[in-house]
Amino acid sequence: MLPEKTSLINIVHDLISQLERQSQTVQDLIQESTINSKQQQRTEANLAASEKKLQEMRQSLDNAQREIESFKVDIKDVKVKFESDVKSLKNQKVKLEQQLKISEHRVKAKETLLERLQNKLQQQIDKEEFSKSRNQDVFRKIQQREPRKTSPSDLKSIELIGMYENERSHLNDEIAQLRNQVQELCSEVREKENIISRASGGGINIKDHDSLLHRLEQARFEQEQVTKQLRLQERSIHEKMKNIEAELQQSKQVIQELREENSNLHLEVEARPTIRDYKATQRRALLLERQLSSQTLAMKEANNIEELRKYIGTAELIRRDKTNAKLQLNRLNTLPKDTCVEIIQDICRQLELTDITLIGPSVAKMISVVQAIPRLEKFVRDVCTIAASKPASSLESVLHTLSRWKQNIGNLNTLQKYAADSFQILASRREKSFQPVESATVYSQALKAIKELVEFESQFLEEQNMYQLAAENVQKQPNLLVNRMVQHFRQLFGVKTMDGVFPKINEVFLFVNEMNNALASIKTTLGLAQDVSVSNALIALKDHLETVRPRPMPRQTENYVVAKNEEVAGLAQVRQNHMILKELKHVLGAQTFEELVPRAQRLMELLSISIQNTTN
């Protein structure tokens, strides 16, 4: 019996649903297994990382322990060194104290010696005062008046009295010593005489008396030697006293230096830290290092901003909270996380940043740059206005203009030096037409002078070229009439170059004019007509000069009586002839009257040559 179709369908549906459930459970199991495997991998990775961190921490701990041990060794070394320094300082202090005690004993001995010397000096001063008062008393007794302090004679007499009184005191001392010695010798003589009288039974031996006198003389000589030695000893004692005083001064200086050094050492020892302070600073340094390492580690392990805020200062947090409240930035907490991430990514892309912590400094830098843009725009606008030749010019043209200006400014010093040298050279011209003054017209004057010089140079070069062309033309075409005339003129007057022809022509013209004027003046002086020929005028001048020239007369006896004779000229005629000769001398350019005839002959020859040339 077959089952029904509906039941079969239901059974199939149940199987399908069961299979789907099984497949769903299988998928869930697979997903769970994958999730578990991922979690296991993560845990294994975390475990490996933690083990690695633990190993690193152990290594850092070992390094820290080694550093601590090295620090302990260093501390021990420092302690040993400090203790050795303290011991050495103590030893130095003990030595200095001993030296100080020794120097104090020396100072005390020197002080006692100084007291003795002061007493002796006081005694000497008292002695001098006594001698001075004694001298004044003697002066009063002798002069019956008080000595005047300003009188040199009184002072001199007081000095003489003092000398005599000193000599008298010395003599009195010597007399007293001699008396004592004589008394001693007399007592010795008496003793000797008594001994001799007792020994000889009352008789006196002359030889013993002489020997006794000899002994007395020898004793006196020995006494004098002893006094000399005592004086020498006194001098040596004075020198020793001076040396002792110098040593005392040196010892005082040494004591002062030692005291200063001791005080400096005390100050240095007091300034050094104690062992307790050193240990406290070491502990403080270790504590700060630990805090720094813990802070850096905590900042690295922080996952959000709230954890980072723990390590920011209170003042900075307050300032940030005030700014957030002012700008109402607390509303950003309501934004979705994806939106915030997208905004931050966009900002990082725009700023080309890989670290989000650099967003704040970058934005602050951009704000400072943007704030400086208006000033920069104004500066660029002003520069473009000054440098641009056209109103609408590009920045590239302005840069080109500025670079050109920079080059021109670089050449400005050389141009100024060139202008100053040019002004100096122009001012050194013979013609003082250019005067360099501090005004705006100096450049126009300089340009005018340079223009004149250029024109003169061009004119001079043109003339040189013209003369050169003329010389070349004469050489190329010597048979031409004009060229023959030029060559003949140069040969006659000795002109070597072509540019000397015109000056020579001017010179000849002036000379001919002067000769014509001279001939006219000669004709006028001799009373000749102006149409008289040159030869006739020269003949008349020659005749006149021969008549005027004095003839040699035979030597006769002196006769002061003038007889009437037609050949003897009167005073008026002599004066007239003298004036004529003086005028001829001036016209012909002669220095003396003897030069008139040769110059006139030369003039006649020149005139004859000129007449022949004109007739030809």
- pLDDT by residue (tens digit) across 212-241? 667 777 777 787 777 777 778 777 777 877
> CB 163: neighbour CB atoms within 10 A?
11
Q: What is the predicted pLDDT for the residue at 226?
A: 78
Q: What is the predicted pLDDT for the residue at 207?
A: 56
Q: What is the predicted pLDDT for the residue at 206?
A: 52
What's the pLDDT band for 4 if we cut at 50, 70, 90?
A: low
Q: What is the predicted pLDDT for the residue at 566?
A: 45
What DSSP letter does each residue of 431-470 carry, written as one string? STT----SSTHHHHHHHHHHHHHHHHHHHHHHHHHHHHHH
Give the pair of three-digit tokens for residue 567.
């050949």
pLDDT score of 560 more than 50: no
Taking the C-alpha atoms of residue 283 and residue 134, their distance in angstroms, rounded to an integer, is 88
Q: What is the predicted pLDDT for the residue at 431?
A: 61
Give the pair of three-digit tokens for residue 593.
């009257």
The percent of residues in the chain predicted with pLDDT above 70, rounded, is: 81
Count Cβ atoms within 10 A of the Cβ of residue 537 and give its class: 0-12 exposed, 13-18 middle, 19 or more buried.
Answer: buried
Question: Quick check: 504 and 473 in contact, CB under 8 A?
Answer: no
Tell me the average pLDDT of the chain. Answer: 75
Angle separating helix axes 481-493 and 501-526, nearest 10 degrees: 70
Q: What is the predicted pLDDT for the residue at 394?
A: 67
What's the pLDDT band for 166 if we cut at 50, 70, 90?
A: confident
pLDDT score of 567 more than 60: no
Taking the C-alpha atoms of residue 365 and residue 375, their distance in angstroms, rounded to an integer, is 17
Question: Quick check: 469 and 463 in contact, CB under 8 A?
Answer: no
What's the pLDDT band for 396 if we cut at 50, 70, 90?
A: confident
Residue type, 361: P
Residues 6+ apart with CB under 8 A from 524: none
Q: What is the predicted pLDDT for the residue at 564?
A: 43
Give the pair of three-digit tokens for residue 146.
């008080």
Give the pair of three-digit tokens for residue 374.
């208006």
Question: Quick check: 138 and 164 in contact, CB under 8 A?
Answer: no
Count Cβ atoms within 10 A of the Cβ of residue 441 and give its class: 0-12 exposed, 13-18 middle, 19 or more buried.
Answer: exposed
- Residues 306-360 have pLDDT tens digits of 655 665 667 777 887 888 788 777 777 777 888 888 888 888 888 888 877 778 8
- Residues 79-136 have pLDDT tens digits of 777 777 778 777 877 787 777 778 777 777 778 887 888 788 788 788 878 877 877 7
Q: What is the predicted pLDDT for the residue at 390?
A: 60
Largest CA distance in the chain: 225
What's the pLDDT band for 565 if we cut at 50, 70, 90?
A: very low
Q: What is the predicted pLDDT for the residue at 300?
A: 64
> CB 347: neighbour CB atoms within 10 A?
14
Taking the C-alpha atoms of residue 537 and residue 526, their distance in angstroms, rounded to an integer, is 9
Q: What is the predicted pLDDT for the residue at 595?
A: 74
3-class DSSP string for 154-203: HHHHHHHHHHHHHHHHHHHHHHHHHHHHHHHHHHHHHHHHHHHHHHHCCC
Q: What is the predicted pLDDT for the residue at 190?
A: 73
What is the number of alpha carbons within 13 Å of residue 481 lying toward its C-beta?
Answer: 0
Q: Which helix (H) or strand (E) holds 358?
A: none
Taking the C-alpha atoms of residue 216 and residue 211, their distance in angstroms, rounded to an integer, is 9
pLDDT score of 557 more than 50: no
**pTM of the prediction?**
0.27
| Least confident residue range of 3-17, 191-205, 403-417 | 191-205
Count Cβ atoms within 10 A of the Cβ of residue 215 and give its class: 0-12 exposed, 13-18 middle, 19 or more buried.
Answer: middle
pLDDT score of 266 more than 50: yes
- DSSP 8-state class, residue 512: H
What's the pLDDT band for 204 if we cut at 50, 70, 90?
A: very low
Q: What is the predicted pLDDT for the residue at 535?
A: 78
pLDDT score of 552 more than 60: no
